[in-house]
Structure 1
Amino acid sequence: MVAHVLRLRLAMMLGALRGDRDDVLRRVVGLVLLVAGTVFAAVNASGLGEVDRLTAGVVTVLAGSAITLGFAVAPPVTASVDPLDPRRFAVVGPEPRPLAGALLLAGFLSVPVFAVLVLAVSVAIAWSEQGVGALASVVSIVLGLTTCVLLARVSMALGALVKRPRQSRELAGVYLVAVLVVVVPVAVFLGSLEWRGTVPSQLVSAAEALAWTPVGAAWGIALAPTPGAAVGSAVVAVATVAALTAVWFILVRILLTTTPRPVAVRERGGLGWFALLPGTPGGAVAARSLSYWLRDRRYLVNIVVVPIAAVLSMVPLVVAGVPLEMAALLPVPIMALFFGWLPHNDLAYDSTALWMHIASGVRGLSDRIGRLVPVLLIGLPILAVSIPLAIVAHGRWAFLPALIGVCAALFLSGLGLSSISSVVAPYAVSRPGDSPFQQPQRTGSGGVIAQALVMLGSLLAASPAIWLAGRALASDTEDAVGALWAGLTAGVIVLVVGIAVGAFLFERRGTRLMEFAEAT
């Protein structure tokens, strides 16, 4: 079977150069660009032998980690079709285990893998000038290439389980947001570094951390600063390969024993988020909420106002004489606080459409989680881009963990408390189609109290992280890590408890919620 699959793989590679003229031309142009880029990178990689060992190690780990991560991310982003999809072999009734092994070996026969191999060999030649032994170079390259191939195989297999015949506009938007969340912070970080003839300490720290992660461990073996670090990276790399291999064999068995569901009906135009998200109660609630958040003016105004109001909060501080580098830290926590606060009255925005959730018997947990999906998809990217920008304006990257901890505590705890508030104390809002600035008259102060309690509760939950962040801001940067973990812990606990309590109350108060929706 192995020989047959390998011959089939080679035939597929050669067959890619035959067919429609335009398709062949695109493939040839792409191949030429890949070869040119590989040659250029390989020539420049030879310069690693002329720099100091620390610089060579940092460049190797960072570049290797980026390449490895690319093998995992590229298949879903490009929506590439797997020519070695295990389900294509189901008609001949193969055993899952031998087929998984054969397909894994065939995965090494691809143009991207050949390009990485050429680049890795040129880097290994430069390593030899740094005094790296042949064994360490071979182990690093073999583990690195195997990790890349396994990540690509696993990524394509996971995509085969959920892939639609075509990419929707919504899915393309999700991929774009994901790329921005990764690229913008990294670009801001690299742009803020000060190069003074040596590798910045931030890059050294980043490389040391990546050398202990699955994406960078294999590339950190050869030029590890100490023998202990080399052994640690090797152990992580071997464990990564073993785990990915096990996942791959499991996925092949699942693909061979699972009948794919027909998706043509779900891909008809107009379904939007409903075609993209899972066909579960929680997925339906999330799709419906996303449609509202991205189309309803009442939601869009909130999304636009929060960042603007947060940035404007700097003005009084700067006018009062607060240094700009200190005032720049304030807008991001304010955005985190308000993004967590936004869904505190989300049931009221449904108006009479709330009956669909209650009449269909949607469980409270599905409703609570589904309604938080839009806020997470909108708030997390904005915070991920804003936090590094605030740190650049502040000038101390050591404060980054503290700012992340404070924002996480405010955002997550706000979502948890909002999950309770929207069920316990909904209040009247502008009806669908009305101007978002047209607010109905309300009797009583329940709405004001609900808004205040969610904000005060979020601030209370984040108070340990805020206190530690204040200490880190004053002098002790070690408290920045403490603020990170304190904020994450408090935020996750309040979020989980809030969702659980809100789910319970949603099921108990269904009748009252319907009465509220009909009355407003």
Structure 2
Amino acid sequence: MVATLVRLRLLVLRNSFRRSTSQLVAVIIGAVYGLGMLFAAILGLFFLNLAPVDVVRTVVVLAGSAAVLGWVIFPLFLGGEQTLDPSHLAVYPIPLNQLLTGMLLSGIVGVPGAVTTIAALATFGSWLRMPGVALIALVTGALGAVTCVVAARAVTSVSSGLSSGRRFREASGLLIMIPLILAGPIIIGITQGLRSTADGLPGVADALSWTPLGAVWAVPSSVALGDPVGALLRLLIALATLGVLLALWRWGLTRSLVTPAHSASRTRASSSLGLFGLFPGTQTGAIAARSLTYWFRDPRYLRQLIVIPLLPLLLWFYASLNNSSGFLIASGPIVAFLLGISLLADVSLDSTAFALHMSKAVPGSADRLGRASAVLVFAIPIVLLLTILPAALQDGWLALPGLLGLAFGLLLSGLAVSSVTSALFVFPVPAPGDNPFRSRPGSNVANVGATFVSWAVLAVLCLPEAVLLIVSLVTQEAIWGWVGLVVGAVLGAVLLAVGVRVGGRLLEARAPELLIQLGKEA
């Protein structure tokens, strides 16, 4: 039975690579990136063989502790590996011990588990000068890798009741976006902090070596430093940690098999029409109201809006590093670009609900105009604010008209391009109600060609506004900026009208094909 479960995991992994050419490309790119990172980690571990024992101890314990912590935290936000989901296996009479072993091995042979295991085993390379310690590191590396996988399984099983709730999945996906967006400043801040407190890292590593996070990684270095008692105590901590995690996993798995988690739902009566009462009672108005409702209630749309308040902070941070105002003053055009291309996957986000458009014979132009109008309702004031305010703070009044022209051009032309692109392609996106941050296999590069082509087209369409802005800055003549503002607004509006018309015709012609593709992705 254990072999069957592991074979099932490998078959699912293999079949996921065969679903489409785009996923094969994703696998190749991901494999190259992952193997490169793994090779760099292994190379670094072997180079540590030349460093003093204290340095090796500090690096290995800190890195190993971070790995264990990552395996504990990320399943809470991204969800665990679901190939052997207990709720799917509950109907089969599989002995619990065999199920535990099968799930453990399936986690190890998965891509994250395999990478972690190889890197953990490679810690023996840091002790090649001491063959006995290297052998101990090989054993503790295997123990550490198993601890990582079991920790993830235990956290997933224990939190299954909470994570099965739709609101938890939505909130966790949105919350994890914030540190990812701010990853650059966070990494720079941590790096600068480590440089200023490098002398304290050995103390941190020593403290972690007595915790469940770092005990297993400190055993070889304790032996190398001539502390067999400390090594034995740390090994006991590591074994006790693994035992506790296995017990938690067993308890959570037993509970999920007896009472599988399910998503609770409730209905709530509405006393008003909401946004539908504010828009005209036309097909375009109804679609605009529905789309705007999605923008502020669907986490898959909200995750795009999270970037908007964080982007000026990022630009201000990088501007302070370079003592330049160019970063911050570009906030408006950058946000306009992001909002303009935000509709590239709008039809894909509809999922099978797109059938409603077909059943009601909604004109394609009404669909395109309604979706674009919903974005313009909040995009125009946001773009105005993020363009005018930085210019006022940086005393960039000369560049303001040109910046506004470029921003309006990017926003309106972007919506025009999106109106056409979303009628041609179906993008792999999170399913309705799923974790908005979770991506399907191959989704990151499945339509990379279409996306980059859309960006290239948008760059060409906005070239006049960009050129006029540059001329205004170079010549220090405001008239060119005002011309750019007029060109951006007028040309953008014309292009949006053309995009709505062309995209509407394409949508009407391709609606059945799009619905079939959406059904396959559901």
Query: What is the TM-score normalised by the length of structure 1?
Result: 0.46
